[in-house]
Amino acid sequence: GAVVSQHPSWVICKSGTSVKIECRSLDFQATTMFWYRQFPKQSLMLMATSNEGSKATYEQGVEKDKFLINHASLTLSTLTVTSAHPEDSSFYICSATIGGKRLNEQFFGPGTRLTVL
Amino acid sequence: GQNIDQPTEMTATEGAIVQINCTYQTSGFNGLFWYQQHAGEAPTFLSYNVLDGLEEKGRFSSFLSRSKGYSYLLLKELQMKDSASYLCAVRVNRDDKIIFGKGTRLHILP
């Protein structure tokens, strides 16, 4: 149990276009999901915390108008990179907390590699 | 600010033991995590410590000293598949937000 999926696993787009990344908890309900960005050989940088039915909480320095997060249900959160530029090329990873006896674990999706040309 | 320090790289030999240290200075503390991450993949959960002491889980053990802001991950009987990055992470608040260190790339030599 506790499987998180992401779609797509990789995407290549032209500069100026928008890209949507989906994060789904497949076998549990996740009231909280997190979005991270990871550049090569660097650690995960938390971008935002997403709560179902409410606005996402963004970390300092993350543009909320550029990285739109929607958490419409207990099993789905989406990250939309608007007007993507080459510097947005990165590995985007979501995670979800399961609660209950496994409250202390975060389960990560497989990640989405975004390349902006 | 939040600061989590761990060595950038380490090398060890197959079958040996290695200890990866992590020190942290954060505005709050509500648990410390260790994750393993293979290149190009998402992190996988290894351990969680919130109280001082040692938590053992198979070949992996994790230790925490809250007064010293210090933790280590101990890997025994190293296998080639243990070659990966190991991420130390701290949950700062009760709202579940986790801050990650930069990770330690562990190289295992045959």
Query: Which run of H or of E encompasses A31?
Result: none
Which residue did the predictor score with more confidence, A104 or B81?
B81
pLDDT value at residue B93: 76
Which residue did the predictor score with more confidence, A44 or B17?
B17
Interface-testing mutation among B20, B93, B96, B104, with chain A (most A C-beta atoms within 10 A): B96
Distance CA B58, CA B52 (A): 19
pLDDT band, residue B45 (cuts 50/70/90):
confident
CB atoms within 10 A of CB B83: 17
pLDDT band, residue B41 (cuts 50/70/90):
confident
Cis peptide bond upstream of A8, omega within 30: yes
Cα angle, residue A81 at apex, residues B98 and A57 outer, rounded to 5°: 35
Is B37 a residue whose pLDDT tops 70? yes
Asked whether B59 and B7 are in contact (CB, 8 A), the reply is no
- Give me chain A's average pLDDT, please: 90
Which residue did the predictor score with more confidence, A3 or B77?
B77
pLDDT value at residue B95: 64
Is B53 a residue whose pLDDT tops 90? yes
A107 to chain B: which residues are within 8 Å by CB? 45
By the CB < 8 Å criterion, does B103 face chain A?
yes
CB contact under 8 A, B100 and A110: no
Please give the span between the terminal C-alpha atoms of chain B, in angstroms, as a whole number.
40
Is A86 a residue whose pLDDT tops 80? yes
**Residue recorded with tokens 């497949």:** A26
Closest by Cβ to B42, choosing from A42, A43, A111: A111
What is the average per-residue pLDDT within A40-49? 88
DSSP at A92: E
What is the average per-residue pLDDT within A50-66? 89
Cα dist from B9 to B20, B101, B104, whole Å: 10, 13, 5
